[in-house]
Amino acid sequence: MAANSRCSAAEPPDLETQRREVEYLLRDCELRAGDSWFMVDHRWYEQWKEFVESGDQNSSCPGQIDNTELFEDVCSNHLKERLVENEDFVLVPAAAWHKLLSWYGMVDQQPPLERKVVDLPSTLKVEVYPVEIFLCLHGNMENVTTAQFSRTDSIHSIQMAMCRAFSLPPTCECRLWMKSSENNCERLRNVHMSVLDACLSSGMTVIMETRNADGTWPSTRPLILRNSVEEQDSYRGQPGVCGLTNLGNTCFMNSALQCLSNTPPLTEYFLQSIYLEELNFSNPLGMKGEIAEAYADVIKQMWSGHHYSVVPRVFKTKVGHFASQFLGYQQHDSQELLSFLLDGLHEDLNRVKNKEYIELRDAEGRPDQEVAEEAWRNHKRRNDSVIVDTFHGLFKSTLICPQCHKVSVTFDPFCYLSIPLPVSKERVMEVFFISLDPYAKPMQHRVLVPKVGKVLDLCLALSEMTQVPETQMVVADVFKHRFYKIYTPDESLSCILDRDDIFVYECSAQSDQQVLLALYLRERAHYRDYGSVSTTLFGHPLLLSVPRSSCSPEALYQIFLQRLARYVRAPNPSGELEEDDDDDEEELYKSQTNGISDDDEQDDAEPTGSSQSEACYADGPANTRHQDPIAPSEVHIRPPPPEEGDVHSMCTGAPKPLCSGDAGPSDGHIHARGEESRAEVDEEGNDEAENEEEPPQSDAIAEDDGKQEEACSPSSPVNEQAAKTRTCRRKKRLFDIQAVNCNGLERETGPNLTLSSQPYVALDWDAEIKKRFYNENEAEKYVKHSSMDVPLQQTTVQLQECIQLFTTVETLEEENPWYCPVCKKHQLATKKLDLWSLPEVLIIHLKRFSYTKFTREKLDTIVDFPLRNLDFSGCLLRKKLSNGEPPSRYDLIAVSNHYGGLRDGHYTSYARNKDNGQWYYFDDSKVTYATEEQIMTNAAYVLFYHRQDKMRKPCVATPSTSSAICTTSSTSTASSMQPPEADVSAVTPSCASAFAELTMETD
Ligand SMILES: [Zn+2]
């Protein structure tokens, strides 16, 4: 059978060997430039790991390697954007990949995701996303092709690719231009430069022009691509009110830059060119002044008043060179960039040319004032720059050893405060509840559960809403029409991600008399080849308890039919599904390779035991499972009495039992195995043969896969043989019942066969019958419980509460212990931070991204932060200020916002222009007026506060914002997820001619 050939080409070694071999290949596997690594779907890989490590009930064979989830769409083989390593995919070295591939094979038509290790300026990286560039000729800009390049490829290789793509001789004389998303165009002069150094990123276009026969070039500059910088020569806007072009996922950088640009002391330092005298070219910790110079260029352009928007390309390249984490594979964190940038600027501008070594002294009981002054003096002896002057403060850190109670006090400088947000101990989950009532639609519920709770807590919460006892619920993760995982009540809820589709099934009370079946729906596709069938899963899987006593195929069929009643129409009794003639019947049998509806397989008196298996399973090694002794059917099932009105009543032979009941009380259908039942003869007079070699099993379905499977799936060839010899009129069932594994595949032998207590059964449908009887539309319906109407409550905390949390005593985590000089070993000390002195500009980073061992989340708590008069005097450890010291009152000057979730999102910023005092909203190249009311949102991520005594009054009048006007150089950046107001897009100019009419109003 085709379905059985799904797994391996090679016979995989046993699970332990698989685990060891791959583990060995992964261990110490270093990245080497040019090596190939392969991407593997994280879910598949985790399932494989579970499979080889445990073999518990939910971990059966992961099946073929399937990377479908990584593709945007499978046809184009285009990867989804922003996939995250170890969350969406894992990277394995080539050797490990080839092993996995040889053992498990790969889903048809899927290309392996081979990726090269590239040698980037300060790191080696597997290049998961190559740069995808559009290519076109200057003479024919309509004809665009797409090509992928590595960041280490040269511009020359792009040139060669273009010659190939456009059928030009490789020796032709040509020039390349690159066009970013904005309307500007730069010449790629140096063909030896790498894609990375040229700042080419995905989505950009490279235009090639070839020299005319008369020796001229078609254009001095491609005509449609005039550089907007040149067009803006006449623009005289408010300095500082200037957008920054997005260079491809660089909104995090733009957001951070706008905040810094609107930090008055820093910007004035650069605008007045003081930095030129302080550039430190020799500092080994610095970047030879390059970051500071690139930053100065951006600031000078932004504050020239000449530009609507600036392209920070050079700056981005420099950042990428010095901090490879910002090279731009995916979205980054504006706060991380800020931290890097402040450090880089500081070292580039450090007035200390030779850092002396200073031994740090512990307080050893000296007064705080003395120790703090010493610490600050020491800090300044090594670190003295505009950054220190503007942003550095001092906090006191007190560590206490839990064992010897040694108290260690140090005073440490900080450049920004990372403030924790109170983490809710609860979590909102959205789940679907599937009632026992087959006519009830799935109901979506929103429940509140403890974040560190167990699956049982979810059931308890749901029980309150549904009045269904939690003991009668089974929770499952449904993925691609099958159960990705069926949870036990004591499993941790942290295993469940918000994006998982969680279904909670009501099941009748569990008992020994019940067996919980996992039910999949499959559609068969037929091939002309005899017996060749492939199946695809569809619809929602189900979990239902069935009494062991009615595990006859017929009883099961009825139970399943009843369960599906909402969306499966039962055939009418007048013979809607009746077969017409022998030919059709034979067709039917050909398709029902394993159909349990072929309940007359015992027409053929089967030989017993292993000899039978060899005789009957002629279709190849895929069926080698049958070399195991065949499970006995120790109980026998009679055909149901005709008065039950069974659609299947004609011609029913005595079917093999699907599973065997207890030897206990039997109903009218089940007979304990015994001499008399073995020789039982059904209505049609067929002998029932029995396996005599195996002892009776009391609980085949629950304890032994192989046996259960055997019981559930009579062998196909037998059926087919039977079919060929039979010619009686019969009614057909809607679907056949087939034992499968958790992936909905035919069971396999070898390493794939695990002992599992969870039986999985597939209902196999012919396409034609499914079309007639299965109502897809109805099946997909669900209703929303009233809990879904309650808006998720937005938590609000005061900024001061967060600052108090920052100064709360905490115990160090295991990963980050403290070395106690008395105990001479690492200790999980208690740590307390206190603020000692604050800088002129205080940066407060709200820790919205919470990563713990168990959870990763973004907190969308609203932090209530004041725009004016943030008073720190109560938070400072030092209560008395000495004479002449400034009060600790601050006003807000800028906010970096993050919209969206953990993995993706958009950064923008609010900032107050130092010259006119007006607030603006900066969204990449777009700038709009903002009001103070707009600023406090749950997107606020990094706050910039300026101490009041240092603030200066606006030197120009605050503009009237009655007719809000924005500055922009493009219309292409309507990507903001939450623009503050819809007021501005309407005035976004769409062409260069509109620029001239735009002026910032100043009165
Ligand atoms: Zn100690």
The owner of tokens 């610490």 is 375
Q: How far is the CA of 804 from the centre of ligand 1 (A)?
A: 27
| 96-130: pLDDT as tens digits | 999 999 998 888 878 899 898 887 766 788 888 88
- If you measure from the C-alpha of residue 836 to the centroid of ligand 1, how many angstroms do you get, rounded to a whole number? 26
Distance, in Å, from the CA atom of 351 to the CA atom of 604, rounded to the nearest integer, reads: 96
Q: What is the largest CA-CA distance in the chain?
A: 111
Residue type, 723: A
CA of 820 to the centre of ligand 1 (A): 5
Per residue, what are the HEC states of 409-461?
EEEEEECCEEEECCCCCEEEEEEEEECCCCCCCCEEEEEEEECCCEHHHHHHH
Distance 833 CA to ligand 1 centre (A): 19
* Paired strand residues for 575: none
Distance 420 CA to ligand 1 centre (A): 27
- What are the angstrom distances between the C-alpha of 593 and each of 559, 601, 627, 714, 723? 22, 12, 19, 9, 10
Type of residue at 964: A
* Residue written as token pair 């491609």: 222
Q: Give the distance (Å) from ligand 1 centre to CA of residue 374.
A: 25
Determine the distance separating the centroid of ligand 1 and the alpha carbon of 808, expressed in angstroms. Answer: 21
- Cβ neighbors of 835 (< 8 A, separation 6 or more) are 393, 395, 396, 417, 803, 807, 872, 875, 876, 877
User: Which residues lie closer than 8 Å to 998 by C-beta, 6 or more apart?
Assistant: 235, 308, 965, 967, 989
| Helix axis angle, 251-261 to 290-302, nearest 10° | 80
Please state, in angstroms and rounded to a whole number, the distance separating the CA atoms of residues 209 and 207. Answer: 7
For 416, what's the count of Cα atoms within 13 Å in the CB-facing half-sphere? 23
403 CA to centre of ligand 1 in angstroms: 5
CA of 394 to the centre of ligand 1 (A): 25
Task: Tell me the C-alpha distance between 29 and 895, whole Å.
Answer: 42
Comparison of pLDDT for 520 and 713, the residue scoring more: 520
- Tell me, in angstroms, the distance from the centre of ligand 1 to residue 758's CA: 52
Ligand 1 center–CA 364 separation, angstroms? 15
Of 251, 259, 742, 802, which one is the catalytic site residue?
251
**Which of 42, 346, 540, 906 is flagged as catalytic?**
906
HEC readout, 221-245: CCHHHCCHHHHHHHCCCCCCCCEEC
CB 350 within 8 A of CB 385: yes
Which token pair is 407? Answer: 């108290």
269-300 per-position pLDDT tens digit: 999 999 999 998 888 888 888 899 999 999 99
Q: Which two tokens stand for residue 287?
A: 């970047």
- Say how many Å lie between the CA of residue 147 and the centre of ligand 1: 60
Ligand 1 centroid – CA 774 distance (Å):
71
Q: What's the rounded mean pLDDT across residues 157-168?
A: 91
Question: How far, CA to CA in Å, does 563 sit from each of 197, 478, 543, 560?
Answer: 62, 18, 10, 5
Phi-psi region of 696 (alpha: psi -120 to 50; beta: other; left: phi over 0): beta
Query: Which backbone phi and psi does 708 adopt, to 5 degrees?
Result: -60, -40
- Residues 6 or more apart whose CB falls under 8 angstroms from that of 108 comprise none
End-to-end, the C-alpha distance of the chain in Å comes to: 81
Backbone CA torsion sign across 689, 693, 699, 705: negative
Using CA atoms, how far residue 439 sits from 95, 550, 567, in Å, is 52, 22, 8
- Contact in structure between 980 and 920 (CB atoms under 8 Å): no
- Between the CA of 819 and the centroid of ligand 1 the distance, in Å, is 8
pLDDT (tens digit per residue) in 379-399 = 999 999 999 999 999 999 999
Q: Please, are residues 463 and 473 in contact by the beta-carbon 8 Å criterion?
A: yes
Confidence of residue 311 (pLDDT cuts 50, 70, 90): confident
Q: Give the separation between CA 692 and CA 679, rounded to whole angstroms.
A: 12
d(CA 659, CA 700): 6
**Distance separating alpha carbons of residues 799 and 844, to the nearest angstrom:** 10
Please tell me the distance between residue 812's alpha carbon and the centre of ligand 1 in angstroms.
14
The whole-number average pLDDT for the span 10-27 is 84
Ligand 1 centroid from CA 399, angstroms? 10
Degrees to nearest 5, angle at CA 808 with 806 and 813: 85
Residue at token pair 């499970």: 631
C-beta separation of 598 from 711 below 8 A: no
Work out the average pLDDT over 5-11: 49
Task: Quote the ligand 1 centre to 829 CA distance (angstroms).
Answer: 8
Instruction: State the Cα–Cα distance between residues 134 and 148, nearest whole angstrom.
Output: 9
- Higher pLDDT residue, 893 or 545? 893
- 906 annotated active-site: yes
Burial class of residue 879, CB neighbours in 10 A (0-12, 13-18, 19+): exposed
Indicate the pLDDT class of residue 936, thresholds 50, 70 and 90. very high
Residue range 803-857, pLDDT digits in tens = 999 998 888 888 888 999 999 999 999 999 999 999 999 999 999 987 766 667 7
- The average confidence (pLDDT) of the chain is 75
Alpha-carbon Rg of the chain, whole angstroms? 36
Q: How many CB atoms lie within 10 A of CB 932?
A: 12
Whole-number Å distance, alpha carbon 769 to ligand 1 midpoint, is 75
Residue pair 70/28 in contact by the 8 Å Cβ criterion: no
Using the mean position of ligand 1's atoms as its centre, give its distance from the Cα of residue 365 in Å: 16
In sign, the C-alpha dihedral spanning 528, 532, 537, 543 is: positive
Asked if 899 and 833 touch (Cβ cutoff 8 Å), the reply is no
587/600 Cα distance (integer angstroms): 16
412: pLDDT strictly greater than 90: yes
Tens-place pLDDT, residues 570-597: 887 766 665 544 444 444 444 443 433 3
pLDDT of residue 595: 36
Residues sharing a CB contact under 8 Å with residue 572, sequence separation 6 or more, in sequence order: none
Check whether 28 has a pLDDT greater than 50: yes
The pLDDT value given to residue 539: 92
Integer Cα distance of 918 and 303 in angstroms: 15
Grade residue 988 by pLDDT with cuts at 50, 70 and 90: very low
CB within 8 A of 762, min separation 6: which ones?
519, 520, 521, 522, 535, 537, 737, 738, 739, 740, 744
Q: How far is the CA of 359 from the centre of ligand 1 (A)?
A: 21
551 is catalytic: no
Tens digit of pLDDT for each residue in 172-217?
Answer: 888 888 886 556 677 787 888 888 878 788 878 899 988 877 777 7
State the DSSP code for 878. -
Residue 792 burial (10 A CB sphere; 0-12, 13-18, 19+): exposed
pTM: 0.59
Please name every residue paired with 518 in a beta bridge, in sequence order, or none if there are none. Answer: 543, 760
Could you count the other beta carbons within 10 Å of the beta carbon of residue 170?
Answer: 10
Instruction: Give 705's pLDDT tier (boundaries 50, 70, 90).
Output: very low
What is the 400 CA–ligand 1 centroid distance (Å)? Answer: 8
As a residue count, the chain comes to 1003
Q: How far is the CA of 830 from the centre of ligand 1 (A)?
A: 11
Helix axes 334-348, 313-322, angle to 10 degrees: 80
